């Protein structure tokens, strides 16, 4: 690429590439990749400006790294791929461009004169970012504030840097795509809770993931019944991946269909039907769940429930006294589909609150589940008088900080006014209000 006398010309190729590989190994976003490349090339090639530009559909996207004036970086942030600039041309053609002085650059791209002059850039090299098969994903730009020609060794170096950058950038793109798919899938699995006559209903879902790309098998649901009663459901399919979420989606959809088709059946019968359907279809899903049927408003009002290997619900009366609905649980789904299941029942207390949850709220390594339930119960008794979504927010904040599992919570409370509010959220630390409607109990 020409002879040069740069004082850094003797920088060992292996040392630079080793440092770059170490920096890129810690990246998981395109912005991180661009910053890592910038820092290495500033140190080893005295680069004044570096940029990683990636093709994104009809656009070329160049993350701003605070090297140029704000106006220039913001204009370059996202431009049509057919724009005529060095990075755009290289991204389209896959062929490098080298400019040893400002005159050569401006001769090929007259429109760049003002930006280059304003930012003090005079020379540079733009290399294609290529992945396996020669597939073009963008361009790597290096520029200097003086006239400069690369030595032969430096030419080898920047080519190797471009290769490493391309692989790291593509890995970051794939990670982002997986994460976006996972988040979209998880959001699609969470239901819009109905407005329920005479009840407030609220929910929280908090995924646990060290990589921010996993989804889980926890779910909840509330299904209005023709008699103005309600079915409340919470469950947990084993796993923390897209397959677990897909299985959870199938289980939830099957149960909703069965509940709508058999609205008069009690919880145990519905869960038995679900287990039979899964077995007949050869769906080897292992899942736990609790299903609760709450009678319509009126007196007396009954609560009927069945438990399939799941943590027991908590019931709190208007005075704050709590009860664990800890009858002997039946087996989880997918274990013994022909085994009989059992319903349990008790009176619904005036002004009562019912809380269903998954094991991520109470299980901790080195701690008995019973202790977790006792801690949860004490927290619920202490906070029960607050707004329902606030109560759930405090419960999950207090109990999920050190969790190693997903966590879902569903709660209903007998409304103290003639309205029923619906709130739900999916987050690791904040409550989001999904919607609010007013329903007058009959």
CA 424 to chain centre: 16
Identify the CA nearest to 314 among candidates 366, 274, 272, 361.
361
Question: Would you place residue 120 in the very low, low, confident or very high pLDDT band (cuts 50, 70, 90)?
Answer: very high
Read off the pLDDT of each residue in 352-365 and give the average, rounded to a whole number. Answer: 90
| Whether pLDDT at 435 is above 50 | no
The whole-angstrom separation of Cα 102 and Cα 322 is 77
String of DSSP letters for 245-265: HHHHHHHHHHHHHHHHH-TTS
User: What's the pLDDT score for residue 404?
Assistant: 64
pLDDT in tens, 127-161: 999 998 889 999 999 999 999 999 999 999 999 99
Q: Can you tell me whether residue 390 is helix, strand or coil?
A: helix
Identify the CA nearest to 167 among candidates 133, 143, 141.
133
| Whether pLDDT at 261 is above 80 | yes
List strands edge to edge, sheet with 123-131. 78-80, 59-61, 49-56, 135-144, 123-131, 97-99
Q: Any idea which of 38-47, 177-186, 363-372 has the lowest mean pLDDT?
A: 177-186
Residue 10's CB is within 10 A of a number of other CB atoms, namely: 8
| Whether pLDDT at 429 is above 50 | no
Identify the CA nearest to 173 among candidates 64, 37, 58, 32.
32
CATH number of 13-182: 3.30.450.40
User: What's the pLDDT score for residue 419?
Assistant: 43
Residue 87's CB is within 10 A of a number of other CB atoms, namely: 23
User: What's the pLDDT score for residue 409?
Assistant: 94
User: What's the pLDDT score for residue 369?
Assistant: 85
Question: Would you place residue 422 in the very low, low, confident or very high pLDDT band (cuts 50, 70, 90)?
Answer: low
The H or E element spanning position 153 is helix 152-189
Identify the CA nearest to 397 among candidates 371, 431, 421, 423.
431
**Per residue, what are the HEC states of 100-145?**
CCHHHHHHHCHHHHHHHHHCCCCEEEEEEEEEHHHEEEEEEEEEEC
Question: Would you place residue 298 in the very low, low, confident or very high pLDDT band (cuts 50, 70, 90)?
Answer: confident
The whole-angstrom separation of Cα 358 and Cα 407 is 6
User: What's the pLDDT score for residue 208?
Assistant: 62
Read off the tokens for 344: 């349990």
Peptide bond before residue 326 is cis, with ω within 30 degrees of 0:
no
Read off the tokens for 197: 């006559």
| Whether pLDDT at 38 is above 90 | yes
The whole-angstrom separation of Cα 64 and Cα 416 is 53
Identify the CA nearest to 406 among candidates 360, 373, 363, 372.
360
pLDDT in tens, 159-197: 999 999 999 999 999 888 877 776 676 666 677 888 888
Q: What is the DSSP-derived secondary structure letter of residue 352?
A: -
**Mean pLDDT (the chain, rounded):** 86
Domain boundaries, the chain: 13-182, 190-423
| Whether pLDDT at 3 is above 60 | no
Q: Are strands 314-316 and 322-324 parallel, antiparallel or unpaired?
A: antiparallel
The whole-angstrom separation of Cα 149 and Cα 168 is 27
Q: Radius of gyration over alpha carbons of the chain, in Å?
A: 30
Question: Would you place residue 437 in the very low, low, confident or very high pLDDT band (cuts 50, 70, 90)?
Answer: very low
Task: Say if CB 30 and CB 52 are below 8 A apart.
Answer: yes
- Strands (DSSP E) contained in 218-266 are 218-224, 230-237
pLDDT in tens, 187-244: 666 778 888 888 999 999 876 654 555 566 788 999 999 999 999 999 998 776 677 7
Read off the pLDDT of each residue in 114-122 and give the average, rounded to a whole number. Answer: 95
One of 3.30.450.20, 3.40.109.10, 3.60.40.10, 3.40.640.10 is the CATH number of 190-423, namely: 3.60.40.10
- To 5 degrees, how large is the angle CA 148–CA 121–CA 88? 95
> Does 71 or 369 have the greater pLDDT score?
71
User: What's the pLDDT score for residue 406?
Assistant: 77
Q: Kindly list the distances between the CA atom of residue 225 and the CA atoms of 57, 72, 194, 291, in Å, as whole numbers in the listed order.
A: 47, 59, 11, 14
| Whether pLDDT at 433 is above 50 | no
Task: Say if CB 45 and CB 142 are below 8 A apart.
Answer: yes
Read off the pLDDT of each residue in 81-110 and give the average, rounded to a whole number. Answer: 96
Read off the tokens for 419: 């309205």
Read off the pLDDT of each residue in 392-400 and give the average, rounded to a whole number. Answer: 79
User: What's the pLDDT score for residue 424?
Assistant: 54
User: What's the pLDDT score for residue 418?
Assistant: 43
User: What's the pLDDT score for residue 246?
Assistant: 80
Q: Kindly list the distances between the CA atom of residue 31 and the CA atoms of 51, 53, 130, 418, in Å, as whole numbers in the listed order.
A: 10, 10, 18, 51
């Amino acid at each position: 690429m020409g002879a040069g006398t740069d004082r850094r010309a003797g920088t060992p190729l292996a040392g630079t590439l080793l440092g770059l590989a170490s920096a890129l190994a810690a990246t998981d976003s395109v912005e991180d990749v661009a910053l890592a490349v910038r820092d290495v090339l500033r140190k080893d090639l005295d680069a004044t400006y570096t940029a990683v530009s990636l093709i994104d559909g009809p656009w070329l996207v160049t993350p701003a790294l605070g090297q140029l004036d704000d106006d220039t970086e913001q204009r370059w942030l996202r431009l049509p791929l057919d724009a005529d600039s060095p990075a755009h041309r290289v991204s389209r053609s896959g062929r490098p461009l080298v400019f040893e002085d400002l005159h050569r650059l401006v001769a090929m791209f007259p429109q760049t004169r003002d930006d280059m002059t304003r930012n003090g850039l005079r020379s540079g090299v733009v290399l294609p970012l290529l992945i396996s098969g020669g597939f073009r994903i963008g361009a790597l730009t290096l520029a200097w504030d003086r006239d400069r020609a690369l030595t032969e060794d430096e030419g080898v170096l920047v080519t190797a840097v471009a290769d490493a950058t391309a692989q790291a950038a593509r890995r970051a793109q794939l990670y982002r795509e997986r994460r976006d798919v996972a988040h979209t899938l998880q959001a699609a699995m969470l239901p819009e809770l109905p407005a329920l006559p005479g009840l407030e209903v609220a929910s929280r879902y908090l995924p646990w993931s060290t990589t921010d790309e996993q989804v889980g098998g926890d779910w909840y649901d509330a299904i209005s019944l023709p008699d103005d009663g309600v079915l409340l459901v919470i469950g947990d399919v084993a796993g923390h991946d897209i397959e677990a979420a897909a299985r959870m989606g199938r289980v939830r959809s099957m149960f909703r269909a069965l509940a709508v088709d058999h609205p008069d059946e009690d919880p145990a019968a519905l869960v038995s039907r679900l287990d039979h359907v899964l077995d007949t279809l050869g769906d080897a899903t292992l899942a736990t769940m609790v299903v609760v049927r709450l009678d319509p408003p009126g007196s007396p009002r009954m609560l009927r429930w069945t438990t399939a290997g799941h943590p027991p619900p908590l019931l709190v009366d208007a005075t704050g006294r709590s009860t664990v609905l800890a009858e002997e649980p039946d087996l989880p789904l997918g274990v013994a589909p022909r085994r009989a299941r059992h319903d349990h029942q008790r009176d619904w207390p005036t002004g009562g609150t019912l809380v269903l949850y998954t094991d991520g709220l109470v299980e901790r390594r080195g701690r008995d589940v019973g202790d977790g339930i006792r801690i949860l119960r004490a927290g619920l008794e202490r906070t029960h008088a607050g707004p329902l979504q606030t109560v759930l927010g405090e419960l999950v904040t207090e109990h999920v900080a050190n969790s190693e599992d997903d966590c879902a919570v569903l709660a209903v409370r007998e409304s103290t006014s003639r309205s029923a509010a619906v709130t739900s959220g999916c987050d690791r630390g904040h409550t989001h209000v999904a919607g609010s409607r007013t329903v007058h109990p009959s």
